[in-house]
Amino acid sequence: MGFLDGVKVVDFTHAYAGPFCSLFLADYGAEVIKIERVDGGDQARTWGPFKNDYSAYYASFNRGKKSITLDIKSKEGQKIIYDLIKDADIVCSNFKAGTLEKYGVGYEQMKQVKPDIIYATISGFGTKGELSKYPAYDNVIQAMSGIMDVNGFADKGPTKIGPAIGDSYTGLLLLLGLMIAFHHRQKTGKGQQIDVTMLGALFGLLEYPVLEYANNGKVISRSGNASHYVAPSDVYQTKDDYIAITVKDDSQWKTFCSILGLPDTEEYAINAQRLDNQAELKILIEEKLKDYTSKEAEALFDGSSIAVSSVMGIAESLENPQLLARDMVIEVEDPVMGPVKLVGNPIHLSENKPVTNIPSPTLGEHTDAILQQLGYTEEKISALKEAKVI
Amino acid sequence: MGFLDGVKVVDFTHAYAGPFCSLFLADYGAEVIKIERVDGGDQARTWGPFKNDYSAYYASFNRGKKSITLDIKSKEGQKIIYDLIKDADIVCSNFKAGTLEKYGVGYEQMKQVKPDIIYATISGFGTKGELSKYPAYDNVIQAMSGIMDVNGFADKGPTKIGPAIGDSYTGLLLLLGLMIAFHHRQKTGKGQQIDVTMLGALFGLLEYPVLEYANNGKVISRSGNASHYVAPSDVYQTKDDYIAITVKDDSQWKTFCSILGLPDTEEYAINAQRLDNQAELKILIEEKLKDYTSKEAEALFDGSSIAVSSVMGIAESLENPQLLARDMVIEVEDPVMGPVKLVGNPIHLSENKPVTNIPSPTLGEHTDAILQQLGYTEEKISALKEAKVI
């Protein structure tokens, strides 16, 4: 029994941010009805990686959902949406602000039909203000938020965070908003609107650089792998590769010196001294580490309280027994792709297990069934297909 | 009225990951009682930035909480914890797995006293498995998860993501688990255990590199600011600085060429062609952009559907009216620091406003009041202080 069993979601999301949110709703048992364009559906269906010419990307973020195609620009398409809304609980979208309103299915409009609907939107900049009309994309939001300026090395330009966390992190914030709103509705019977922005989400992750500038006027920019506050905390070259190490205080520093055979001199006894001499320290440390492979270096710290890890590529990470034991790599039997490996759900609850083995829908797979449930006759359905409304 | 009014949280979290989670609980009205070490409290109290020698970092992630000091290693400290647990709803922690068990306040032990307790822990690697005994730190988890390998430029080494998202993102996942568990308890009366790992959280953000390798055996490593699937989507140098641009499809490419005055030749008409020739394209584009400042280049795309933004530093980001209008920078009147600027709550709900104006507690600020509420006499409290239990 999923804890969202019986909850119906009308899901206008596409690409990454929105689907990442509604994926969790599906995992916990909600009926997620994904509205897709008649002509091709969600753009993520064209995004790699592919297996049997089908998008594993789409499959990963849309497993467990249902797909109905409809033309949101047509009056009849909009009527279907209202038919769906009548007994829905949640609406999600990550269109540019104003898009759903333009098609007559905005929050104010939907509220007329379903007063307690929970209406949740992700956008780049929010529903109000000058920027709300602009298109957003993960790298553009990263640039504007300031996060690109604090990622990467000082001697390189601003650096995009590899994975699109402007999408994923914002998706998770929307999900959190949904959980709060859902709880509020159960308590009070009232629906509400949730408006989460990619810009606000990434800004909210900046931590000390924003606090330092806002309060002390001090600019902190990117510093590569080195910490601004703790030393040594960096990534070091070894005989064969790289290793990440953090020595979190003066007591660990003594341990670190004795393990690596570094002289435990007075000039580096205090964290502030080590911070002031990071470049020299790095040379000393790498001089010692060049005698070991990353794995050998890792083993040196076994049993100490110092946090270390060799830097792993995706291939190695995928074999980590700790991740596999936690079902972070799942195999789903897909009707098009056959067995496909997807990413699991990282939240482990002892009482609420996610359902992760239902494949993603083919485009419009559930159109007929959903419309039949809504009372549409076969003739009507055929006519709508003919007219390319569905 | 916060939606968590009346909910009591016994909060063992410290540093960043855990406090980032319980911050949201406080925002929505829960009574968050933070357990701190008698000798110095949460290590984040020693982390910059500082204002009047007080940590703005601590203040930002602990506003709205209460602080009680106690020695968890002492029997009497453990008794206070059990007194607190008796009418608590939620316990949070981000100690290394096994730490609370060692002190007699693990889940199985607490369940004896409070069967419906929700017991939520963040750790690096989880409560089971070979790695569970190892210490974790954001940069080490980034190294192990594979995310460091897909961040940064190909000609530089693996690159840590600037902000500690191994902490913040995992904190948010724990919060989501808490919302699910809280809902489950309201429905069934049952508590449960939530176990979220930094390793699993970051692995869950890897998206296409993990899907590509797991399904096709293809290794995707870091590619700087360029997208692996869409071109042009990159960061470009302008006359004075940088600009991020994403041209998401062939139709936008035509618009892009006409705006920048690039020849719309057949060789670059299709996304796949542009992807294959990214280096040449970048030269062509930067040749055009060198005549404009980043702000001027941004303005060129005004009214088009192409997503662009100049790359902003923290100072500029902090002045973005869109962020300010959404209360992402808040000013809190702090008894020690005076007015201090902190980071707001990015989730905007029309019915559930977060409370963000309560300052963080000084160390042990609420020790006496909380113990008095639990029925401890003044004599007893003095004796506990004498014995350094509180």
CB-side neighbour CA atoms (13 Å) of B251:
2
In angstroms, what is the C-alpha Rg of chain B?
25
Pairwise CA distance, residues A61 & A57, whole Å: 7
Q: Which residues of A285-301 are buried (b: 16+ CB within 10 A; e: fewer)?
A: beebbeebebeebbebb
CB proximity under 8 Å: B 237-276 to A: 237, 242-246, 248
Half-sphere exposure of B347 (CA within 13 A, CB side): 27
Say whether B357 sits in a helix, a strand or coil.
Answer: coil
Cα distance from A119 to chain B (closest Cα, Å)?
10
Residue window 291-310, chain A: list those with CB within 8 Å of chain B. Answer: 305-310
The answer to whether A242 contacts B143, with C-beta atoms less than 8 Å apart, is yes
Which residue, A44, A313, A294, is CA-closest to B142? A313
Dihedral sign computed on CA atoms, order A265, A266, A268, A270: positive
Angle of CA points A187, A193, A195, to nearest 5°: 130
List pLDDT tens digits, range B259-299: 999 998 899 999 999 999 999 999 999 999 999 999 999 99
Peptide bond into A232 cis (omega under 30): yes
Chain B residues with CB-CB distance to A347 below 8 A: 173-174, 176-177, 180, 194, 196
What's the pLDDT band for A276 if we cut at 50, 70, 90? Answer: very high
Determine the residue of chain B that is closest to A139 in CA distance: B244
Whole-number average pLDDT of chain A: 96
Q: Is B152 helix (H, G, I), strand (E, B) or coil?
A: coil
Integer Cα distance of A356 and A333 in angstroms: 11
Q: Is the ipTM of this complex over 0.85?
A: yes
Query: What is the pLDDT, as a whole number, of residue B2?
Result: 83
More confident residue, A1 or B353: B353
Helix B165-188 and helix B17-27, axial crossing angle in degrees, nearest 10: 50
Nearest Cβ partner for A194 among B3, B309, B348: B348
Delineate the domains of chain A, giving CATH numbers in brackets: 8-204+322-386 (3.40.50.10540), 233-237+242-310 (3.30.1540.10)
Taking CA–CA distances from B311, the nearest residue in chain A reads: A143
Indicate which residues of A carry an active-site annotation. Answer: 167
Quote the minimal CA–CA distance from A383 to chain B in Å: 31
C-alpha to C-alpha distance for A188 and B129, rounded to whole angstroms: 43
DSSP A188-232: HS--EEEEEEHHHHHHTT--HHHHHHHHH-------TT--SSSSS
pLDDT of residue B1: 64
Pick from B168, B207, B124, B271: which is nearest to A162 by CA? B207
Q: Render pLDDT for B158-173 as a digit per residue (tens, 0 to 9).
A: 999 999 999 999 999 9
pLDDT, residue A178, reads 97
| pLDDT bucket at B34, cuts 50 / 70 / 90 | very high
Q: Give the bridge partners for A305, in sequence order.
A: none
* Cβ <8 Å between A347 and B194: yes
- pLDDT band at B220, cuts 50/70/90? very high
Cα–Cα distance for residue pair A106/A159, rounded to 1 Å: 36
**High-pLDDT (> 70) share of chain B, %:** 100
**Cβ(B284)–Cβ(B262) below 8 Å:** yes
Picking from A240, A138, A310, A152, the residue whose alpha carbon sits closest to that of residue B153 is A152
Q: Which residues of A348-364 are buried (b: 16+ CB within 10 A; e: fewer)?
A: bbebbebebeebbbebb
Stretch (H or E) spanning B124: none
User: From CA A302, how far away is CA A341, in angstroms rounded?
Assistant: 32
Longest Cα–Cα distance of chain A, Å, equals: 87
E strand residue ranges, chain A: 8-11, 31-36, 50-51, 54-55, 66-69, 90-93, 118-123, 192-197, 233-237, 242-246, 307-310, 329-334, 338-343, 347-349
At position B138, the amino acid (one-letter code) is D
Looking at residue A265, its pLDDT comes to 87
Classified as helix, coil or strand, B66 is: strand
Tell me the per-residue pLDDT of B85-138, one tens digit each, with 9 for 90 and over. 999 999 999 998 899 999 999 999 999 999 999 999 999 999 888 899 899 999
Answer whether residue A196 shows pLDDT above 80: yes
**Cα distance between residue B3 and residue A176, in whole Å:** 13
Question: What single letter denotes the amino acid at residue B218?
Answer: K
Calculate the CA dihedral of residues B351, A2, A56, B156 and round it to 10 degrees.
60
Instruction: Please give the structure tokens belonging to residue B113.
Output: 């006293």
**For B222, nearest residue in chain A (alpha carbons):** A162
CB contact under 8 A, A51 and B215: yes
CA B342 to chain CA centroid, nearest Å: 14
Nearest to B178 by CA among B194, B165, B166, B200: B194
* pLDDT, chain B, mean: 96
Mean pLDDT for B196-220 is: 96
Decide: B24 and B60 in contact? Cβ < 8 Å. no
Q: How confident is the model at residue A89 (pLDDT cuts 50, 70, 90)?
A: very high
Q: Among partner residues B141, B317, B341, which is closest to A215 by beta-carbon distance?
A: B341
DSSP state of A49: P
Closest-approach residue (CA) in chain B for A303: B134
Which A residues, 193 through 232, put their C-beta within 8 Å of a C-beta on chain B?
193-197, 199-201, 203-216, 218-225, 227-229
In the stretch 58-87 of chain A, residues with CB closer than 8 A to chain B read 60
Choice among B167, B249, B291, B302 that is catalytic: B167
Nearest to A63 by CA among A344, A349, A346, A367: A344
Tell me the C-alpha to C-alpha distance, in Å, between residue B122 and each of A53, A119, A346, B17.
Answer: 39, 31, 11, 8
Alpha helices in B189-265 (DSSP H): 198-203, 208-216, 250-260
- What is the distance in angstroms between the Cα of B379 and the nearest Cα belonging to chain A? 37
Residues 371-390 (B) with a CB less than 8 A from some CB of A? none
Q: Say whether residue B316 is in contact with chain A using an 8 A CB cutoff.
A: yes
Residue B346 preceded by cis peptide, ω within 30: no
Which 8-state DSSP code applies to residue B58?
A: H
Residues in chain A closer than 8 A to B153 (CB atoms): 152, 156, 159
The pLDDT > 70 percentage for chain A reads 100
Q: For residue B341, give the 3-state DSSP assignment.
A: strand
Alpha helical stretches, state H, A223-377: 250-260, 271-276, 278-289, 294-300, 314-317, 321-325, 367-373
Count how many Cα atoms sit within 13 Å of the Cα of residue A366 in the half-sphere of its side chain.
16
pLDDT tens digit string along A29-52?
A: 999 999 999 999 999 999 989 999
**B354: confidence class by pLDDT, cuts 50, 70, 90:** very high
β-pair partners for B92: B11, B120
pLDDT the model gives residue A130? 87
pLDDT at A390 over 70: yes
Q: Is A336 exposed, middle or buried (0-12, 13-18, 19+ CB in 10 A)?
A: middle
Distance CA B153, CA A274 (A): 28
Taking the C-alpha atoms of residue A230 and residue A233, their distance in angstroms, rounded to an integer, is 6
Q: If you search the block for the tokens 């795309």, which residue do you land on?
A: B301
CB proximity A173 to B under 8 Å: yes
pLDDT at B129: 87
Q: Residue A2: its pLDDT value, please?
A: 83
Best B348, B352, B356, B360 member to test A by mutation, with max A CBs in 10 Å, is B348
> Cα–Cα distance between B353 and A168 in angstroms, integer?
23
Task: Measure the CA–CA gap between B88 and B81, rounded to whole angstroms.
Answer: 10
Nearest CA in chain B to A47: B229
**First-to-last CA distance in chain A?**
32
Query: Which candidate from A201, A223, A305 shows the least CB-CB separation from B346?
Result: A201
Half-sphere exposure for A215 (CA within 13 Å, toward CB): 30
The pLDDT of residue A1 is 65
Q: What is the CA radius of gyration of chain A?
A: 25
The backbone region for B215, taken as left when phi is positive above 0, alpha when psi lies in -120 to 50, beta otherwise, is: alpha
